[in-house]
Amino acid sequence: MEQTYQRRILVRRDRGAIAVDLEDNFHRFEVLLGLRGDEVSAVTGTARRVPWATCPGALVALQDLNGHDPRTPFVIDRESKATRHCTHLFDMAMLALDHLRLGIPSRDYRVSADGPRERERITLAVDGRRVRTWELYGNRFVTPNEWRGHEVAKLRTLLSEDADPVAFLEQMVMRRAVHISRGRFLDQDSWETAADLDAAPTCISFQPGIKASAVRIRGSARDFTGRENQLLAD
């Protein structure tokens, strides 16, 4: 059976806190935001399974969110984000803030990607119900028809966040997963360090002064094809 990409993001809201757990083929992270009044009062993160030895170094950067008022968008300097943060931990924290800002309750997001690059099918289920499906050819939409030919990377230009902020959030969850899903086509354990990849410096492990010491954690990837119920099973 051809390997699929599977991602589950579990957002759990409680009085005084919101937690986001993520697991996919390549990662297992947790982020917890404590709340006091109208601001974030504490931020903790856990890196359970990572592709690079340097990934846990981004946990300290989550403290950038301490004191933030979730009713307003969080703004961070792009260079600072790229230098200090983990893309996935940062996205998880932003998802938590979006849930708070939009009043979204606890949610269970599941994204799957299957098929070759020439005809990928991306699906999103929320709380066990399939809500969205895309078909892609390479990096461009085949369906939905109104987006046909447009690049997935330009999705923000095709959507109006103001018109339906929840739909916008759900499709951003899908877009983030699409990029990471392409890793299933690669032999990632053939790399010694992050310096072996011609990748943009989008996170802590790919910074010029760090990537040579970002050692690959071999055997860290998982194949959840046909075993989707094992995502976040612990």
Model confidence pLDDT, tens digit, residues 10-36: 999 998 999 999 999 999 999 999 999
Give pLDDT, residue 80.
61
In terms of Cβ atoms closer than 10 Å to its own Cβ (0-12, 13-18, 19+), residue 52 is: buried
What is residue 231's predicted lDDT score, i.e. its pLDDT?
98
pLDDT > 70? residue 78: no
Task: Mark 121-136 as b/e (b = at least 16 C-beta within 10 Å).
Answer: ebebbeeeeeebebeb
What's the pLDDT band for 198 if we cut at 50, 70, 90?
confident
**SS3 state at 148:** coil
Query: Is the pLDDT at 39 greater than 80, yes or no?
Result: yes
Confidence of residue 82 (pLDDT cuts 50, 70, 90): low
DSSP 193: B
pLDDT per residue over 115-157, tens digit each? 998 899 999 999 999 999 999 998 999 999 999 999 999 999 9
Those residues whose C-beta lies under 8 Å from the C-beta of residue 51, and which sit 6 or more positions away, are 26, 27, 188, 216, 217, 220, 221
Q: Which long-range contacts (CB under 8 A, 24 or more apart) does 74-77 make?
A: none
Instruction: Provide, rounded to the nearest whole percent, the portion of the chain with pLDDT above 70.
Output: 97
| Mean pLDDT of all residues belonging to the chain | 94
The C-alpha atoms of residue 37 and residue 135 are separated, in whole angstroms, by 43
Q: Is the omega angle on the peptide bond into residue 116 within 30 degrees of 0, that is, cis?
A: no
Q: Which amino acid is at 168?
A: F
Residue 205 confidence (pLDDT): 95
Residue 1 confidence (pLDDT) above 80: no
- Percent pLDDT > 90 in the chain is 88
Nearest-angstrom CA–CA distance, 188 and 185: 9
**Regarding predicted confidence, which is higher, 111 or 37?**
111
Rg (CA), the chain: 17
Q: Could you give the CA distance from residue 25 to residue 223 in angstroms, rounded to a whole number?
A: 6
pLDDT value for 108: 98
User: What per-residue confidence (pLDDT) applies to 13?
Assistant: 94
10 contacts 21 by C-beta, under 8 angstroms: yes
* Reported pTM: 0.95
Token duo for residue 132: 């969205």
Q: Within 10 Å of residue 74's Cβ, how many Cβ atoms? A: 16
Q: What is the DSSP letter of 3?
A: P
